[in-house]
Amino acid sequence: MAENNEGSQLPVRYEGGRALAPDFNGHPVATFDRFEPAAAPLQDYLGLLLRRKWTVVIAAAAIFGVTCLFTATSPRIYEATATMLVTEAGGGSARAGQGQMPPMMAEMAAPDLETHAALIQGKSTADATADWLKKHGGPNLSASALRQSIRAAIVPKTHLVKLSARARTPKDAQTIANAGASAYADMNRRRAQGSSESASRYLGEQLTISKDNLTSSEEALRSFKESTHTVAQDASAADLLAQAASLHGDLDKTSADLVQAQARMSKVRTQLGQQNRSIAASQVRDNTVVQQLRAKLVDLEGQRLVAQSQYTSAFSAPLGQIDDQIRIIKGQLDAEIRNVVRSSSGDLGTQQALVSGLIQGEAEVAALQARKKQTQAQLKAAERELQRIPARQVTLARLQRQVDVAQNIYSGLLTQSQEIEVGRVMALGNTDVVELADAPALPVKPNVPLNLAFGLLFGLAVGVGLALVLDQLDDTIRGEEDVVRYADAPVLGAVPILEAPDAALVLTSRSLRGRAIDAYRGLRVNLGFVTPGAGGHTVLVTSPGPQEGKTTTALNLAIAAAQSGRRVVLVDSDLRRPSLHRLLSLNGLKGLSETLVGQAAASEVLQGIPDISLRVISSGARPPNPTDLLDSDEMRHLVAGLRKQADLIIFDSPPLLSAADGLVLASLSDAVLMVCIPGLSHRRALQRAKLLLGQIGHTVSGVVLNKVERRQGYGYYGYYYGYYGGYERSDEGDAAESGDGVEGPKNSG
């Protein structure tokens, strides 16, 4: 089923994927496959890069050159690295004496590795390094410059820190790295000594105060003994006094724990009320099993508090047994609470946790209250016992206790003071320089291999990108795909670039064979499919614009057709810029113009070419009104007469977009051949020429691609000529040996 060519005004029908091109009388004379653009394969991109190779090369060379220049002119930067060992807090194996520092001092003098790395890169280290360089005759650099130069890195899974320094000479880099490491080690040592001195001063002050307290306590005890003539202290009074002091401490702690437990229980009650008001805690508390378990839990909590006051960590077995019983009771209590809560609405998990927390909190409060009452009772009993002891013995026991406490405090402070003093003397810091930096042999900047590789790859990427952009902006015809898309016509032939001095006479030159001759002979054969049948056929050879090779194509096509034995008439109908008479060295005084104005007959202007059945009508004198002459009845009568005398009539006309002469000649022709040059002819021009022909009811019968380069990547034809290049050269040699050739035309008049 035929379908119309939508979006086009040309009278072209497509049937079964093939196009029927009508002849001048409206009858289809040839078919050709319509080219459907497909996704661009790899060879299309390779062809694009081949066409734009100089763009890619120039862009890559320019960027690579700039990269080389930048690399060559960039200052060389060298990097040297020193290694420092950071010991752990409290000392380490790196220094035997460091382990004798007090733990408090070791912690103050030993920050972690990340802190060390940050301090090395900080302003203080830069200032210390600048001072070190000034003292030891190093490079004169400011602290800000040194801070930018010095970097620190932690070696994973070690206690090592790498200090790196960069400079423009290897010697300076080495000096700065060693100076930074030494300056930081000194600074760390001074910081450790400063911490020791501060602690020593503080402990000295506290030691003085403690000594004064001890002295005053001893003086009060001595005075009391002298005034009361009491020498020995009653042991029972001392024990009761110590017991009362211990009970006071237990009572204070129990009271504080009770306040905290009551606060927690109040918070749980509030959360339980917000979670689900449909369940009341009384439902759980009124449960018989819960009440029994709660009573056991309160009893166990009380036993645990009593056991804590009776047993030490050295004998903790009774405490462990009580804790095991408490865990069992809590597990049973949680299970029973879960059964009670499951019958109510709300979040089971949350309700169970809150209710369990409430019950356990009540048990803890009850146990603490019982403990508080018990402690208060024991304290009252101890105070009653103290009242039975003479007041003199109680006072003596209290004074003696004050002396003992003051003595213990003073002894502890004295011990710490002695440790701090030892640490202050041995405070060497926790940082050592274990490996000095060596002078680097190679610079780290610029990285020549990396820069050159990056410059080359970036240049190629820019070149390829620029080639793609230019190709997208390029409006010229590239090959068969563009021809079919913008002209709706097949490519009837592709003529390679001719290297002869006179390219127009390719078929008359012995030196040019192979590709060029085959191209025109192939065009002649394809033209026979466009204009089939007997009788004189007229063919217009034109182009969208000037300098696209239409005259050369018309001449060589005429010669090729004449060499096949057909009677051919070549008419130079380009009355504005004629050139055929010069190419063939013909008489140009009389020609088409004189015939159309009645000054000469057609037989007078026909000039024959010997050895081939080709006759030529030159343009003659240039008329002032070429379009009117071509659109006259005389022109139509002339064409009708030539049809009777020749098998093929070829018109060479002006460019179709330059003048209306081409459209007039197209109306007189059976077929229109459009000559285009890939890379030079514009797509819009070809499309405009097609539209102009469509306005007069004509189409482009076929397109001739002229000056196709062998390796320019213009689709199939570039591949074809490149592939057969060697075969053509071999064929030319065979032809030369056989003496087969084409004789050149000779003038006749």
Sign of torsion over alpha carbons 408, 413, 418, 423: positive
Q: In this structure, how many other beta carbons lie within 10 angstroms of the beta carbon of residue 26?
A: 8
CB 672 within 8 A of CB 468: no
Q: Residue 100: which of 109, 91, 108, 110 has the closest Cα?
A: 91
pLDDT of residue 212: 86
Q: Report the alpha-carbon distance of residue 86 to residue 108 in Å, rounded.
A: 14
What is the per-residue burial (b if ≥16 Cβ within 10 Å, else e) of 459-492?
bbebbbebbeeebeeeebbbbbbbbbbbbbbbbb
Q: Report the alpha-carbon distance of residue 588 to residue 580 in Å, rounded.
A: 9
Angle at 144 between CA 141 and CA 145, to 5 degrees: 45
pLDDT digits (tens, 9 = 90+) for 276-316: 544 445 555 567 777 777 778 777 777 776 776 666 555 56
pLDDT of residue 278: 44
pLDDT digits (tens, 9 = 90+) for 629-640: 899 999 999 999
Give the list of residues 6+ apart from residue 320 with CB closer than 8 angstroms, or none.
none
The pair of three-digit structure tokens given for residue 111, joined into one six-digit string: 């920050």
Question: Span 707-719, mean pLDDT?
Answer: 55
pLDDT digits (tens, 9 = 90+) for 557-608: 999 888 888 899 999 998 888 888 888 888 878 888 898 888 888 888 898 8
pLDDT of residue 170: 94
User: Could you write out the DSSP letters of every residue in 62-117?
Assistant: HHHHHHHHHHHHSPPBEEEEEEEEEPPTT-BTTBTGGGGS-HHHHHHH---HHHHH
pLDDT of residue 31: 47
Mean pLDDT, the chain, integer: 76
pLDDT digits (tens, 9 = 90+) for 197-249: 777 777 788 888 888 888 888 888 788 777 876 666 666 666 766 777 777 77
Q: Residue 430: which of 90, 82, 81, 83 has the closest Cα?
A: 90
Backbone phi, psi, residue 27, to 5°: -100, 140
The pair of three-digit structure tokens given for residue 646, joined into one six-digit string: 């020749």
Least confident piece of the model among 83-97, 524-538, 699-713:
83-97
CB 542 within 8 A of CB 672: yes
User: Could you write out the DSSP letters of every residue in 684-703?
Assistant: HHHHHHHHHHHHTT----EE
The pair of three-digit structure tokens given for residue 657, joined into one six-digit string: 């977009």
User: Could you write out the DSSP letters of every residue in 597-634?
Assistant: TTSS-HHHHEEEETTTTEEEE---SPPS-HHHHHTSHH
pLDDT of residue 194: 72
Residue 144, pLDDT > 80, answer yes
CB 307 within 8 A of CB 330: no
SS3 721: helix
User: Could you write out the DSSP letters of every residue in 159-219?
Assistant: SEEEEEEEESSHHHHHHHHHHHHHHHHHHHHHHHHHHHHHHHHHHHHHHHHHHHHHHHHHH
pLDDT of residue 479: 75
- Side-chain-side CA neighbours of 253 within 13 Å: the count stands at 11
Residue 65, pLDDT > 90, answer yes
User: Could you write out the DSSP letters of every residue in 240-280?
Assistant: HHHHHHHHHHHHHHHHHHHHHHHHHHHHHHHHHHHH-TTS-
Q: In this structure, how many other beta carbons lie within 10 angstroms of the beta carbon of residue 440?
A: 20
Q: Report the alpha-carbon distance of residue 738 to residue 726 in Å, rounded.
A: 19
pLDDT of residue 175: 93
Residue 541, pLDDT > 90, answer yes
Q: Report the alpha-carbon distance of residue 395 to residue 29 in Å, rounded.
A: 141
Torsion-angle region of 612 (φ positive above 0: left; ψ -120 to 50: alpha; else: beta): beta
DSSP symbol at 445: B
CB 498 within 8 A of CB 721: no
Q: Directed axis angle between helix 448-473 and helix 42-51, to 10°?
A: 100
Going from the C-alpha of 617 to that of each of 221, 543, 568, 575, 651, the distances in angstroms are 152, 20, 11, 12, 10
Torsion-angle region of 697 (φ positive above 0: left; ψ -120 to 50: alpha; else: beta): left
Q: Residue 128: which of 97, 161, 163 has the closest Cα?
A: 163
pLDDT of residue 375: 81
CB 665 within 8 A of CB 571: no
